Chains A and B, each alone.
Chain A
Amino acid sequence: MSVDYDVIVIGAGNAGLSAAATLQRGGKRTLLVERHNVPGGAATSFVRGRFEFEVSLHQLGGMGGPGPLREILDEMDVTRRLRLIQDDELYRTVVPGVLDVTLPADWQGAVDVLDSHYPGNRAALTRFLEIVRDVGLWQLTARANLHRLKEQVEWLSGLSDVRRYGLRTYREVLDEFFTDERLKFVLSSYWSYNGQLPSRMSFMDMARLLALFIETKPYQIVGGSQALSSAMLESFLEAGGEVRFNTSVEKIVTRGGRAVGVRVDGGETVSCRLVVSNAPSSTTYTRLLDPADVPSGVLRDLGSRRMGPSATALYLGLDAPAAELGFATATNFLTTDLDERTVARGMRSLEPAPFLLASCYDVRPTGFAPPGASQVNLVTIQYADPWEAVPVRDYQQAKSAYAASLLDLLKAIAPGVRDVIEEAEIATPLTFKRYLSQPGGAIYGFDQDAMDSWLFHEDDLKPNVPGLVLVSNWVTAGGYNSTIVTAARLCRRLLAVL
Chain B
Amino acid sequence: MSTSTNPLAHLFEGADDVVAEIERRGAAGADHPADAREEITPYHPKVLDLTVAEVVEETVTTKTFRVRRTDGRPLPPFLAGQYISLHVRVGDVLTSRAFSISSSPAALDHYDLTVRRLRGGRVSNHLIDTVKPGDRLTSGGPIGTFYHDPLFHGDDVVFLAGGSGVAPAMSMIRDIVDHGLSRRMTLLYGSRRADDIIFHDELDAVAREHRDITVHHVISDPGPDWTGEVGPLDAALISRLAGPLAGRMTYLCGPPGKYAYLVRQLESLGHPRRRIRLEANSVALPPPADPRWPAELDPEEQVTVTVRGRGSLRVPRGRPLLDALEDNGLRPEASCRSGECALCRVRVCSGEVFHAEEARLRASDRQFGFAHCCVAYPLTDLEIDF
Q: Which residue of A lies closest to B18 (CB)?
A: A450
Are B362 and A153 closer than 8 Å at their CB atoms? no
Q: Is B72 close to A, CB under 8 A? A: no
Minimum Cβ distance to chain A for residue B358 (Å): 11
Q: With A319-B274, A441-B36 in contact, is A45–B364 under 8 Å at CB?
A: yes
CB-contacts of A428-455 with B (<8 A): 430, 433-434, 436-441, 450-451, 453-455
Within 8 A of B (CB), among A291-309: 297, 300-307
B5 touches A456 (CB 8 A): yes
B363 / chain A contacts, CB cutoff of 8 Å: 52, 222-224, 227, 367-368
Contact partner of B370 (CB less than 8 A), chosen from A38, A395, A453, is A38
CB–CB B333/A227 < 8 A: no
A37: interface (CB < 8 Å): yes
- With most chain B CB atoms within 10 A of its CB, the pick from A168, A434, A438 is A434
One digit per residue, 1 when the CB lies within 8 angstroms of any chain B CB and 0 when it does not, for chain A 379-390 equals 000000000100
Q: What residues of A have a CB within 8 angstroms of the CB of B28 in the complex?
A: 303
CB distance from B292 to the nearest CB of A (A): 18
Residues of B within 8 A of A48 (CB): 145, 360
- Interface pair B367/A392, CB less than 8 Å apart: no
Of the candidates B11, B340, B362, the one whose C-beta lies within 8 Å of that of A52 is: B362
Instruction: Kindly state whether residue A261 has any CB partner on chain B within 8 Å.
Output: no
Query: Is A84 interfacial (CB-CB < 8 Å)?
Result: no
In the complex, whether B225 has a CB less than 8 A from a CB of chain A is no
B257-280 vs A, CB cutoff 8 Å, 1 = contact: the mask equals 000000000000000101000000
Chain A residues 355-397 with CB under 8 Å of chain B are: 367-368, 388, 392-393, 395-396
Known pairs A163-B13, A245-B386, A439-B34; A230 contacts B368 (CB<8 A)? yes
- A164 contacts the other chain (Cβ, under 8 Å)? yes
- Check B360–A163 contact: CB distance below 8 A: no
Task: Pick the residue among B34, B43, B347, B367 that contacts A227 (CB under 8 A).
Answer: B367
Contacts of A404 in B (CB 8 A): 150-151
Compute how far the CA of A453 lies from the CA of B42 in the bound complex, rounded to whole angstroms.
Answer: 36
Q: Does A116 contact B (CB under 8 A)?
A: no
Query: In the complex the two chains form, what is the Cα distance from A434 to B39 in whole Å?
Result: 9
**Residues B29 and A303 in contact, CB atoms below 8 Å apart:** yes
Known contacts A222-B363, A458-B6; A282 and B32 CB within 8 A of each other:
yes
Asked if B35 is at the interface (CB within 8 A of a chain A CB), the reply is yes
Q: A188 interface residue, CB < 8 Å from B?
A: no
- Interchain CA distance A199-B22 in the complex, whole Å: 17
* Contact between chains at A307 and B34 (CB < 8 Å): no
Given the complex of chains A and B, what is the CA–CA distance between A329 and B31 in angstroms?
41
Residues of chain B in range 1-48 having any CB-CB distance to chain A below 8 Å: 2-9, 11-15, 17-19, 21-23, 25-26, 28-37, 39-40, 42-44
**In the assembly, what is the distance between CA of A238 and CA of B363, in Å?**
21
Instruction: Give A343 to B28 CA distance when docked, in angstroms.
Output: 26
Q: In the bound complex, what is the Cα–Cα distance between A339 and B23 (angstroms)?
A: 31
Contact of B40 among A46, A224, A297, A434 (CB under 8 A): A434
- Residues from chain B with Cβ under 8 Å of A226 in the complex: 362, 364
Taking a contact as CB atoms under 8 Å apart, the answer to whether B11 and A163 are in contact is: yes
Minimum CB–CB distance for B365 against chain A, Å: 8
Residues of B within 8 A of A303 (CB): 25-26, 28-31
B-side binding surface: helix, strand, loop or mixed? loop
Shortest CB–CB separation between residue A447 and chain B, in angstroms?
10
Chain B residue with the shortest CB-CB distance to A138: B8
Q: Which residues of chain B are near A454, meaning CB under 8 Å?
A: 6
In the bound assembly, the distance between CA atoms of A246 and B330 in angstroms comes to 13
Interface assignment of B343: CB less than 8 Å from any CB of chain A: yes
Is B317 in the interface zone, CB < 8 Å from A?
Answer: no
Interface string of B44-87 (1 = CB under 8 A from A): 10000000000000000000000000000000110100000000
Total contacts A to B, CB within 8 angstroms?
197
Asked if B362 and A223 make an inter-chain contact with CB atoms under 8 angstroms apart, the answer reads yes
Query: Interface readout for A404-421 with B: 1 if CB under 8 Å, 0 if not?
Result: 100100000000001011
**A479 at the B interface (CB under 8 A):** no
Contacts of B150 in A (CB 8 A): 400, 404
A298 to B59: give the CA distance in the assembly, Å: 65
User: Could you say which residues of chain A place their CB within 8 Å of the CB of B342?
Assistant: 37-38, 46-47
Whole-angstrom CA separation of A458 from B364 in the bound complex: 37
Task: Check: A123 CB closer than 8 A to any chain B CB.
Answer: no
- Are B368 and A304 in touch, CB under 8 angstroms? no
A39 to B141, CA, bound (A): 23
Q: Given contacts A422-B274, A451-B18, are A456 and B33 in contact (CB under 8 A)?
A: no
What residues of chain B lie closer than 8 Å to A230, measured between beta carbons?
364, 367-368, 370
Question: B152 touches which one: A52, A149, A234, A424 (CB < 8 A)?
Answer: A424
Please state if A47 and B361 are interface contacts (CB–CB under 8 Å).
Answer: yes
Mind listing 24 A-B residue pairs with CB under 8 Å?
A: A37-B344, A38-B345, A38-B370, A47-B340, A48-B360, A146-B6, A223-B363, A230-B370, A245-B385, A246-B333, A283-B34, A301-B26, A304-B22, A304-B23, A307-B32, A403-B151, A430-B40, A434-B36, A434-B40, A436-B36, A439-B34, A439-B35, A455-B9, A460-B4
Kindly list the 10 A-B residue pairs having the minimum CB-CB distance in the complex, ordered from nearest.
A304-B26, A422-B274, A230-B368, A421-B152, A455-B9, A47-B360, A303-B29, A459-B4, A282-B32, A304-B25
